[in-house]
Each structure stands twice: as structure tokens, then as C-alpha cells.
Amino acid sequence: MTSIYLAQQVRELDRITIEEKGIPGIKLMRSAAQACVDVLLGQAPSPGKVSVLCGSGNNAGDGFIIAGLLANRGIEVTVGLVGKVPSAETDAGKAYGYCREAGVEILTAELSLQDSAFVVDALLGTGLIGPVRPEYQQVISAVNLHDCTVLAVDLPSGLCADTGNILGACVKADMTVTFIGRKLGLFTNDGPEVVGELNFADLSVPGSVFDAIEPSARMLSYEDQIRKLPVRNRNAHKMNHGHVLVVGGDQGMAGAVAMAAEAALYSGAGLVSVATHPTSVNSLVARRPEVMTKSVTTPDELKVLINRATVVVVGPGLGNDSLGNDSLGNDSLGGDSARASELFDIVLESELPMIIDADGLNRLSRLPQQSTKRDNWILTPHPGEARNLLGKNVQVNRLASVKQLQEKYGGVSLLKGAGTLIASRHDVWLCPYGNPGMSVAGMGDVLSGVIGGLVAQGLDVNDAACLGVIVHSLAADNITARQGERGLLATQLLPEIRKLLNGMPG
């Protein structure tokens, strides 16, 4: 799998390469610059006038060499310098000297941008932590307003390499070339919005360098994950493929539980049952007769269904009544004000693997800590639900947040959103697929059903979560490639998910 790193880890990889492997920093800088020039000229063999905007760090050194390489090819290029000329003895200073020897004119950023058709952003690098300073914000704003193609060196200036947060202002690039190690912030939160087409250059760093650093996350791929789905025997029957029980569908919310149940069927579960509110039964049966739908009016009825199941999906359309100190009656579930709480408590008494989503997550967030940790469940929150579970804004640092979710609740935790993150006890994975068209109602219900269907078929909670997220996101990408992002419906994903789980990615 592709490794993903935090900024400090990449700096350590850089240090090991220079100090322990004896590869000069200026050589790495030149390799980085050449990689950028190759991408730039691959995009625009005759780019017109190029403006290379340089700050004062090593990122600027890459920029100076880029400008020199372009000038030596006869391309019209200027450097827009923000800050001081680097000291001659530093690698950035040597790069500046090369740029000057190539005859590149050094201007202010404002003058350099004039009439430029192509801009190279080498202003700020991975060391940025706090808000972008005003003089850089002004230049970034000018770049974003300028009618040009933008290539970012290593990462767009203003983007946090670790969190993907925009730190006050950020260059919106058309393409980015990143070096040595892929930075987490390029793939999550605001990163995908500003990175454009991402290119990676390893700069020929020896593979042994990477043995010293454990990556912060690993990128999932469809090809790797689909191999984990077991091959079906020719003499298989439905019980070999598991029984998913979906618990939810309160009054007026039959759609949520229907989507989760259908997703489990489309994912290959042998049987799917639904435990739901009496008012939801008729619509569910009419929509999908393959789902065994049961009106649950007593605790014992739900317990019987749980005892027959392989895995439970709880939460879609469950209802979000106030928790309180409800207790189960002997003969029937409480009224609607207590129903969700009672259903959820009964499910938690089971030792079956379970997927908790939507209203189930909100209920989980209000239970005592000592009763909310186990190894065989998967939590699937979006950022709002994760905020309830952790009591903080999880988008500030998505990696830290998904790890905290897992540490607090055990099992596997997802943090949905751009660059969905999946954390188990020992590993974190990132999903590189997905698009804004998925920001519609029902997507989470489908995902929880898919994962439930995969657990039913024998995948452990780690593999089920990873494969479920991958096929869910890739299905959406395949559909939006044909029809666009606006108007995507959650149920449209189901046939595409079925194809993907049958090894048909196209």
C-alpha cells in the first residue's frame, strides 16, 4: 500500500537521505525542480510567460532552480521574490545563484505575475504551522485571481501538510508535484479542493531510507482490498454468506433502513432482515420483498431476530429521542419517546459484530464510557457525529480525531468526509476515492449496509470497513464520471457496488 506521512516525518526522511545516505541536499533540490519542470512542460510544452513565486525556505530553492531550468530551455520566465534573498552558503542560496546565472530576472511578485500564463507556486512549504502572514496572503490572493495555470511545488502554499486545513489563505493549484513522501494534508479535509492533479516524485531516494519511519497512514486501493473477499464455493447456499440484521426505521424514516438493507443485499449477504417500527413494514415489503421485514413491538421479538443474525447494523432511521433513564417493560417496547433507546440497548447486549451509524452513534455518545468499548464493532460517523462522540471539532485534525475515536471506543472507526480515514488498533488507512456528489442524504445508510454485508460474508471488521469504504466511494466516482456530481442519489450506487464486489471496476 502507498504510505502517507506527516510533515515532520518527511523532514526526517529528508535528513536521513542527506546525512546518513550522503546525498547532497542541493542534488535533491535539483531533482525536485526537474520533476516540476517535467510536469509543467508535459501540461504545456509552450507555456508562454512563466512566473515562479519564491518565498524564503527550501521550497523557494526548488523554485529558483525551476526558473533556471526553464530559462535554459529558452522559456520566458521571471521570479517573484517574497522576502529576503537566501544566504549564499545554504542550498536555497546556491539555487538562487544558479537562477541568476541563467539570466532570470528577479522581480516583486506583483510585477512577476503580470502577463504570466503559468505560475509556479514555491512560496511556502511543509513547515507552515500558523496563519499565513499578510504579505504572503496578498500574493496568494493575487495568484487565485490571476487568469493562469498554477503548479504548486510540494503542496499549495497555505495548506497545512498534516491536517489539510487552509491556514488563512491558500493557493488553488491546477497541479501539485509532491516529493519523497506523500503528505496527509494533500488527501484530506481541504486538501483535495486546492491540490488539483497530484503528481509524486520520489527523487530516487533509496528505499532503505523509508525503513526508519513508520507512516502515519496508508492509502487504500481497490485492487488490494477486493482480493480479501472470499471466493464462493460452487455448492454454497444462502447461510454460507451470512445474515445481516438492520435495526432502525422509526416512524417516517423507513427509507434509511431500506437503503441499508438493500445495500447489504447488493453486497452479497445471504439473508437480510429488518427490525423496524410497525408503521414502516408495508413500505419496506413493497419496496424490496427479498428483505425479511419484521415489526418489532416487544423486546423478545428483537432478541429472537438478533439470535438468528450474523451481524447487526444499528442506527439508520432509528430515531433520536432523548436518552433519559428508560427501562424495558416486560411485555412491550416503550412509546416513541423511549423506543430508540430501548432498541439500541437491546442490540448492545448482543456479542455479535455490529456496525453503528447515524442515530445509533448519537445514542452511543451519551452512554457511560465504561459500557462503550469493544473490539468487534465498526463506527461510521461523519464529522458532526464524530464531534458528539469526542466532544470537539474533529476537522481541526482528522488524523488525531479518528485515532482518538478508535482509542475511546475500540474496534474500527471511520471518519467520513474528503479523504475518509479508517482507524483500527494498530493502523490508519485513507480512501483516495469519493467526490462532492456524495454529499446527499442516504449515503451513510448505504455505506453501513455494505459494510454489514461484507462482515456477514466473513471479512473481519478491519477488512470489511476498508473494502466497504473503497467500493462505496469508487462506485460514486464511476457514476459521476458518466453523469456529473449534481443530483447523485444514494440508491444509484447499489448496482455499481455490486459490480465492484464482483471484480468489475470499470
- Residue that has been written with the C-alpha cell 541568476 in this structure: 100
Q: Do residues 157 and 140 touch, judged by C-beta distance below 8 A?
A: yes
Helix pair 299-308, 336-349: axis angle to 10 deg: 40
Name which of 161, 29, 18 is nearest 91 in CA terms: 29
Per-residue pLDDT, averaged over 295-317, amounts to 94
Q: How confident is the model at residue 340, as a pLDDT? A: 83
Is residue 262's pLDDT more than 50?
A: yes
pLDDT digits (tens, 9 = 90+) for 1-34: 799 999 999 999 999 999 999 999 999 999 999 9
Please return the burial class of 73, using the count of CB atoms within 10 Å of its CB with bins 0-12, 13-18 and 19+. Answer: exposed
Query: What is the overall mean pLDDT for the chain?
Result: 94
Q: How confident is the model at residue 325, as a pLDDT? A: 35
pLDDT digits (tens, 9 = 90+) for 202-253: 999 999 999 999 999 999 999 999 999 988 888 888 888 999 999 999 888 9
Q: Which domains does the chain have, with CATH numbers?
A: 2-214 (3.40.50.10260), 222-501 (3.40.1190.20)
Q: How confident is the model at residue 233, as a pLDDT? A: 87
List the single range of 159-163, 276-280, 301-305, 338-342 with lowest mean pLDDT. 338-342
CB neighbours of 220 closer than 8 A, spacing ≥ 6?
A: 1, 422, 429, 430, 431, 432, 466, 469, 470
Q: How confident is the model at residue 337, as a pLDDT? A: 46
Q: Do residues 450 and 236 touch, judged by C-beta distance below 8 A?
A: no
Is residue 88's pLDDT more than 50?
A: yes
Is residue 424's pLDDT more than 90?
A: yes
pLDDT digits (tens, 9 = 90+) for 341-362: 899 999 999 999 999 999 999 9
d(CA 344, CA 327): 12
Q: Record the pTM.
A: 0.93
Q: Is beta strand 292-295 parallel, antiparallel or unpaired with respect to 377-379?
A: unpaired
Name which of 299, 398, 389 is nearest 349 in CA terms: 299
- Residue that has been written with the C-alpha cell 432482515 in this structure: 273
Q: How confident is the model at residue 334, as a pLDDT? A: 55
Helix (H, G, I), strand (E, B) or coil at 4: strand
Identify the band that residue 328 occupies on the pLDDT scale cut at 50, 70 and 90.
Answer: very low
pLDDT digits (tens, 9 = 90+) for 447-501: 999 999 999 999 999 999 999 999 999 999 999 999 999 999 999 999 999 999 9
Percentage of the chain lying above the pLDDT 70 cut:
96
d(CA 3, CA 26): 25
Count each helix (H run) and each strand (E run) in the chain, helices first: 18, 19
